[in-house]
Amino acid sequence: MKFISTIIFTVFITFFSFSQYSKEYEILTEKLIATDTLNFEELYKNGEIKEKGTVLTYKVGDYSADYYYGDYYQYFRNGQVKMKAKFDRFGNLLSQKCYLNFGGLCSESTTLEIDTETTDLEELLRVDEKTKVISNDKFYNYSMKLDSMYLKKEGKMIGNKKIGVWKIYSRTGELIDEKQY
């Protein structure tokens, strides 16, 4: 009985879970298939990993485009993680965490919605501005007094532009201001 309940729950979640993609974006991209996949790893001169990830290549007509896909990592020269990111199959950032060289989290971003203004696949691949990505972003500061990182501000963005209400916090976590963008 527990096994059947688990299966039903999994099917329910799969069919009714929130998707970041608009219906228009899904329809436009559903027929686009990668023509090549490349797993890569780049090293610093000291032998430490600089970055690693996967790149997918798409072709539409005579045009070819490469996009990061899946898990992507950047590292400091000392081997510490600088950035962890996850991309969809068209290079749209789904989530990202950036770190300082001592390991403190300095920012994080989670994609909420992905949409497009075009109905042409080649234009979608050529022009990044045709894809609208709305994300929830958080930025952290270091407090010498607390000797730790703290949430400084959070809010939504479209691309690199702030939108809506942004909350600003003190190092003790107290809400000190809200700004409307």
pLDDT in tens, the chain (181 residues): 444 443 333 333 333 334 688 898 888 888 888 999 999 999 999 999 999 999 999 988 888 889 999 999 999 999 999 999 999 998 999 999 999 998 899 999 999 999 988 888 888 887 777 889 999 999 999 999 988 999 999 999 998 899 999 999 999 999 999 999 9
Residue 6 lies in a domain: no
The label of the residue with tokens 């899904």 reads 26
Residue 50 lies in a domain: yes
Could you tell me the two tokens for 80?
Answer: 């510490």
Residue 159 lies in a domain: yes
Domain that holds residue 153: 18-180
Residue 54 lies in a domain: yes
Residue 5 lies in a domain: no
Q: Are 166 and 153 in contact (CB under 8 A)?
A: yes
Q: d(Cα 148, Cα 104) in Å, to the nearest integer?
A: 8
Residue 100: is it exposed, middle or buried by C-beta count within 10 angstroms (0-12/13-18/19+)? middle
Q: d(Cα 146, Cα 74) in Å, to the nearest integer?
A: 28
User: What are the Cα distances from residue 83, in Å, to 21, 50, 74?
Assistant: 24, 11, 5
Contacts for 167 with CB less than 8 Å, ≥ 6 apart: 153, 154, 155, 175, 177, 178
Residue 3 lies in a domain: no
What CATH number should be reported for the domain holding residue 136? 3.90.930
Helix (H, G, I), strand (E, B) or coil at 89: coil
Contacts for 31 with CB less than 8 Å, ≥ 6 apart: 121
pLDDT at 19: 63
Number of domains in the chain: 1
Residue 4 lies in a domain: no
Residue 1 lies in a domain: no
Could you tell me the two tokens for 26?
Answer: 């899904």
